[in-house]
Amino acid sequence: MIKIISNSLTVSVYCKSYFIQNQKEEQMKTYSSEHIKNIVLVGHSGSGKTTLAECMLFESGAINRRGSIAEQNTTSDYNDLEHERGNSVFSTVMHAEWKDTKINIIDTPGMDDFAGEMIAAFKVADTGILVLNAAHGVEVGSEIVWEYTDHLKKPMILVVNHLDEEKSDFDNTVEQAKERFSKHVTIVQYPYNQGVDFNAIIDVLTMTMYTFAADGGKPEKKPIPEAEMAKAQELHNALIEAVAENDEGLMEKFFDKGTLEEDEVVKGMMLSLRHHDIFPVFCVSAKHNMGSGRLMGFIDKCCPSAAHMPAEKLTNGADLPCNSDNPTVAFVFKTVSEPHLGDMSFFKVCSGKISAGMDLNNTDTDYPERMTQLFILQGKKRENVQELMAGDIGATVKLKKTHTNNTLSVKGQQIQIEPIHFPEPKVHAAIEVKNKGDEEKMGLALHHIHEEDPTVEIDHNMELKQTIVKAQGELHLQVLRWKIEHSYGVKFDFVKPRIPYRETIQKPVRADYRHKKQSGGAGQFAEVHMLVEPWYEGMADPADLNVRGREEHPLKWGGKLVFLNCIVGGAIDTRFLPSILKGVMSKMENGPLTGSYVRDVRVSVFDGKMHPVDSNDMAFKLAGMMAFRNAFREADPKILEPIYDVTILVPGDYMGEVISDLQTRRGIVMGMDTDGHYQKIIARVPLAELYDYSGSLRSLTQGRGKYHRAFAEYAPVPFEVQQELMSSHKEELAEA
């Protein structure tokens, strides 16, 4: 009987708890712009961003149990691919309520291959939290993140994690951060006993020591130990002075009293964060949930809200203040495409407010869209809301012609928010579908993937007869393969893209060709004499020919064809010259050596013959094509290859290995310089040698090297390479 009552009571309590939780979700408070804080978690892969996010949600009461990456039950990293890999691949939007503030949290991947996810999140965030691993110091992923941070000028907090590890070194991590990031990196907290026994943090802002139980959570406040007081006081003074520097009034009070009141510190801290004059350092052990609550309190009190951040920049140079009383404007920063569910669009309300059912206009496509439903996100969970105010982040579904980087506004406004500038692709790979019937499915998959991830570019290259995928790295390509195979069921291989070679000539040659065909009735007759020369800008007319007409044709594949009419005495009627030109152009689209485009030639038609009955356009087209082909083969033909300017940034320790590798790739070092903490190598490298360069550079420099490439010119290939290319082309023709 007692057992039954106990069970009934348990069920009753559970039902009541469930009802209260659901009632809370249904009655989600609408927050004003002044009480919305948008933060983005960034840092090197493995620094603990996802685990920290879990702690923040737990401490705020947004979740009632902390998940773990090992158990694959974290609010972020919920995708099957992320479960397989054990780290973040996509950005995840979450939210927490802390006192009277709504904190939107975006967890981002730490690998440079997924930089697009991080950059898009930074676009809509108001403050960045850079998570550092105390056992590893400042890692390459953190350095890459900082470059974007420095460019975007968003407030940044540094959080040193993994202080519970045996090899953790807080002081070294902070020194590296000051050296590589900014001298304005300023300690707010430091660990009292880092290492495997870590359980206490000294906070020099509140001048309190926080001691945690073994399972973390809410700490016990204690006085700072006497042995640490001098160090804590010195750091406290340095912190308060840094905070006061942004306001003359605060600086005067600091000099008069030697300290500041709490409200004054909050005001000064917010200004310092906005102006990039301070980058406060906090301590946590995300694994044991130590320190996240204090971090949340700091975000609540000191981080600027959406309304206190600088206005959004518009494409016309104007500013758009974050104000809920102004007309509605929203910016789409992320799109998730599911084969059977359609697109989900993630947006930030930049001005005004959005209500469910509201009609807006896409100012990029001039297409009307209806916000049928509004959601706030908790990882993969959606919560319906009726209204979102300026500064808030939400999502909607079933927008028809709206994608990442689009602006939505009330009808009649032609406002466009400055778009996200994504990094250029670093690797190129061609796609070969295994099953011939899957080409259409592959095309649809690639279209959706590009809409979802703008850092993926698709090139259906007609010249190379390949579909080229351009991505951020080898790991990025692996993720694309997984998504296409699992979500769209298409099996394929990545292969090396063909190179867009060009062909040209190196000496002038005269050639002629007679086309004669008789098969009963009217026949075909044409004879063409031409001079074919290598063309260059400013070259003189042929000395022994009388130029009567000139046509210059810039070629869509680069270079030029100059066509001269040097006919005298009416040997060929001028009405046939366009047909001769067509014959020449048809051969230039399929060069004799490798089938590549021909460029930079001058053709002078100076003689020929015609028949009053049998001559026609087709005959002269064929004669012109064959005369050009014969001349080309005798004019010392040369294959040209695309050469790229490559700028490489590497730490000085790796200069030798990188230069040696460039030499094996037929690269020529053009110069060297310094760029901040990096050494800069400027080189010219054939495109044919850059296929796997991103991965090789990462391997040579332990992930710390990076490069940029840009087309420079076409240049002749070495003799042995030309012979190989010609042999390969002959084999392809034989197999066809």
399 versus 676: the higher-pLDDT residue is: 399
The structure's pTM equals: 0.86
* 272-295 pLDDT tens trace: 898 888 999 999 999 999 999 999
Distance CA 709, CA 652 (A): 20
- The confidence score (pLDDT) of residue 104 equals 97
- The confidence score (pLDDT) of residue 2 equals 32
Reported confidence tier of residue 663, pLDDT bands at 50, 70, 90: very high
Instruction: Supply the DSSP string of 629-668, one letter for each residue.
Output: HHHHHHS--EEEEEEEEEEEEE-GGGHHHHHHHHHHTT-E
Which residues, other chains included, contact 98 with Cβ-Cβ below 8 Å and sequence gap of 6+? Answer: 60, 296, 297, 299, 300
Q: Which of 515-524, 529-538, 687-696 has the lowest mean pLDDT?
A: 515-524
Q: Where are the alpha helices (DSSP H) in 489-635?
A: 577-588, 617-634
Angle (deg, nearest 10), helices 248-257 and 262-274: 140
Distance CA 55, CA 219 (A): 14
* 189-218 pLDDT tens trace: 999 999 999 999 999 999 999 999 998 999
Q: Are 289 and 215 in contact (CB under 8 A)?
A: yes
Sheet arrangement for strand 601-609 = 509-517, 524-534, 601-609, 560-565, 549-554
Q: Are 615 and 526 in contact (CB under 8 A)?
A: yes
How far out from the chain centre does Cα 158 lie?
23
285 versus 341: the higher-pLDDT residue is: 285
Q: Are 680 and 673 in contact (CB under 8 A)?
A: yes
**Degrees (nearest 5) of the Cα angle 154, 157, 162?**
140
Give the mean model confidence (pLDDT) for residues 672-691. Answer: 91
Give the mean model confidence (pLDDT) for residues 405-414. Answer: 92
Whether the per-residue pLDDT at 257 is higher than 90: the answer is no
How far out from the chain centre does Cα 428 lie?
14
What are the tokens at 394? Answer: 């939400």
Give the mean model confidence (pLDDT) for residues 550-559. Answer: 95
DSSP state of 672: E
Angle (deg, nearest 10), helices 262-274 and 292-302: 80
Distance CA 302, CA 682 (A): 44
Q: Are 471 and 477 in contact (CB under 8 A)?
A: yes
Give the mean model confidence (pLDDT) for residues 463-478. Answer: 94
284 versus 147: the higher-pLDDT residue is: 284
Distance CA 402, CA 218 (A): 44
Q: Where are the alpha helices (DSSP H) in 162-247?
A: 170-180, 226-244
Percent of the chain at pLDDT > 90 equals 76
Reported confidence tier of residue 160, pLDDT bands at 50, 70, 90: very high
Q: Which of 252-266, 331-345, 487-501, 700-714 has the lowest mean pLDDT?
A: 252-266
Average pLDDT, the chain: 90
Strand partners, 490: none
What are the tokens at 121? Answer: 């999140």
Whether the per-residue pLDDT at 16 is higher than 50: the answer is no
Distance CA 241, CA 251 (A): 7
Q: Are 630 and 532 in contact (CB under 8 A)?
A: no
Whether the per-residue pLDDT at 341 is higher than 70: the answer is no
Whether the per-residue pLDDT at 48 is higher than 80: the answer is yes
Residue 506: name the closest of 686, 639, 641, 628 by CA: 639
Give the mean model confidence (pLDDT) for residues 142-152. Answer: 83
Q: How many CB atoms lie within 10 A of CB 518?
A: 10
What are the tokens at 548? Answer: 């009567």
Distance CA 683, CA 671 (A): 7
- The confidence score (pLDDT) of residue 8 equals 34
* 616-637 pLDDT tens trace: 999 999 999 999 999 999 999 9
Give the mean model confidence (pLDDT) for residues 82-91. Answer: 90
Distance CA 182, CA 275 (A): 13
In single-letter form, the type of residue at position 383 comes to E
- What 3-state DSSP class applies to 231? helix
How far out from the chain centre does Cα 581 lie?
45
Whether the per-residue pLDDT at 12 is higher than 60: the answer is no
Residue 143: name the closest of 532, 533, 703, 688 by CA: 703
Which residues, other chains included, contact 73 with Cβ-Cβ below 8 Å and sequence gap of 6+? Answer: 67
